[in-house]
Amino acid sequence: MPSSVVVGAQWGDEGKGKIIDMLTEKAHVVARFQGGNNAGHTVVTGGQEFIVHLIPSGILHTGKYCIIGNGVVVDPAGLLTEIEYLRQKGITVDASNLGVSDQAHLIFPYHRTLDKLKEAKIGAGKIGTTGRGIGPCYTDKAARVGIRFADLLDPETFRRKLQANIEEKNLIFSRIYDAPPLQFEPIYEEYLKYGEALEKLIINGPVVLNKAITDGKSVLFEGAQGTFLDIDHGTYPYVTSSNATSGGACAGTGVGPSRIDKVIGVVKAYTTRVGEGPFPTEFPPVLMEQIRTKGKEYGATTARPRRCGWFDAVLVRHSVILNGINEIAVTKLDVLDDSPRVNICTGYRFNGKVLETPPSNIEHWSKVEPIYEEHPGWLKDTSGCGCFEDLPPQARRYLKRLEELVGSKITIVSVGSKREQAFHV
């Protein structure tokens, strides 16, 4: 199997976890390349539900190696909790199947505190973050004051860097937020323990991953969040703080673009987003409640209700271009089974003009009016369909129309949360 990047092509929660789990069967290595434990990837198999935040969704398959890449920001307490959670559910997690890049940055308690303080201070215009400290950790990375796993394994370097950070953050807490200071020693001791507990898993990510490719292994690059939460290409500032688009896979793992063969975009058969920001095809309240209930649209990380809307082909068409998507996986088709009609947004109307790509000005993006194409619903249960031909004709026509509008072929369709409820087209 070729090496592929799997990205969310909307606003996250497209079902990447499920698709990665499905594709892992034929891959050797799965590498997460960005984000942190703001992500929540769900896999349902063998009557059990697994939700992972940091560890690649490929971990559920035996004999596969998973890597948390250098582009990921890691909360070590969260990682240890997740390892324990998987072990409790009977999954082996040790150095034989998980490696964490020594260049990955660490999330500290001051990042989580700052995340929450910033959001509270902004008030009504807040981003609606997950509160996991993601933005402040990436801020430190870009400001060149971040602390990486390699530092954690060297107690003196770690002491010096942590001291400088806590001094600076305590000034920010007291002078800007009127918040109490943090003590250095307890955090230092706590993190040294995390370093000891994780030491065996720490690897030189780029070296290990490139060697695997040289040895003929196929790699799945697992994206978190989605294209429109990307720091450069999303609905800025209502985005996360990393590159969730396919380009992030190279920087976030240290593998060059010439070594990657394919990009697979995951989309829901409709659209959802969590948190604030523009959402042109958002449903009115009654439909919102119906689809949210049927699709169980509650966040896998924060349990917040997800905002739901019609499929937005303007977004996904742009996503296909931004990510260089070769193939699309459509999930949650079954959630539309009871809808007498299904709409697809084909363009945006703004200031009397029709836009075929999203505007860069966020104020404009918030004000565009979606142009809909209405399709008859299929009003049949698709959750047992095992191939494209099993789908009702209206559902097939809907998928064919999506392909046409977004400019990429659909190669996987998912009709339920279970591992077996998906097929290649």
Closer residue to ligand GDP (CB): 8 or 136: 8
Residue 75: active-site member: no
Select 188 or 236, whichever has its Cβ closest to ligand IMO. 236
**Token pair in block for residue 182:** 């943090």
3-state secondary structure of 379: coil
DSSP-assigned beta bridge partners for residue 48: 45
In sequence order, which residues have a C-beta less than 8 Å from that of residue 212 and are 6 or more positions away? 28, 29, 65, 219
Residues that bind ligand IMO (CB under 6 A): 8, 12-13, 38-41, 127-130, 132, 134-135, 224-226, 229, 240-241, 274-275, 300
DSSP type of residue 181 = P
Binding track over 273-302 against Mg ion, x by CB under 5 A: ---------------------------x--
**Start-to-end CA span in the chain (Å):** 17
- Work out how close the CB of 299 gets to ligand IMO at its nearest, in angstroms, rounded to a whole number: 7
Binding mask 25-54 for ligand GDP (x = CB under 6 A): --------------xxxx-x----------
CA 7 from centroid of its chain's CA atoms? 8
Q: Is 40 in the site for Mg ion (CB under 5 A)?
A: yes
Whether 13 is a known active-site residue: answer yes
Give yes or no for residue 306 binding ligand GDP (CB under 6 A).
no
Number of residues forming the site for ligand GDP (CB under 6 A): 23
Token pair in block for residue 158: 């770690």
| Cβ-count burial 38-71 (b if 16+ within 10 Å, e if not) | bbbbbbbbeeeebbbbbbbbbbbbeebbbbbbbb
- Exactly one of 7, 17, 233, 267 binds ligand GDP (CB under 6 A); that residue is 17
CB 223 within 8 A of CB 10: no
**Is residue 16 within the footprint of ligand GDP (CB under 6 A)?**
yes
Q: Is 323 in the site for ligand GDP (CB under 6 A)?
A: no
Cα distance between residue 330 and residue 270, in whole Å? 9
E strands in 87-182: 98-101, 105-106
Query: Choosing among ligand IMO, ligand GDP, Mg ion, none, which partner's interface includes residue 235 (Cβ < 5 to 8 Å by kind)?
Result: none
CB of 17 or CB of 265, closer to ligand GDP: 17
Q: Minimum CB separation from ligand IMO for residue 35, in Å?
A: 6
Site string for ligand GDP, 262-301 (x = CB under 6 A): ----------------------------------x---x-
If you search the block for the tokens 């107690």, which residue do you land on? 155
Distance CA(247)–CA(230), nearest Å, equals: 11
The residue among 13, 7, 207 whose CA lies nearest residue 101 is 207
Residue 275 site contact among ligand GDP, ligand IMO, Mg ion, none (CB < 5 to 8 Å, cut-off depends on kind): ligand IMO
DSSP string, 51-62: EESSS-GGGGST
Q: Applying CB under 6 A, does 60 fall inside the site for ligand GDP?
A: no
Which residue ranges make up the site for ligand GDP (CB under 6 A)?
8, 12-18, 39-42, 44, 296, 300, 331-332, 334-335, 414-417
Active site residues: 13, 41
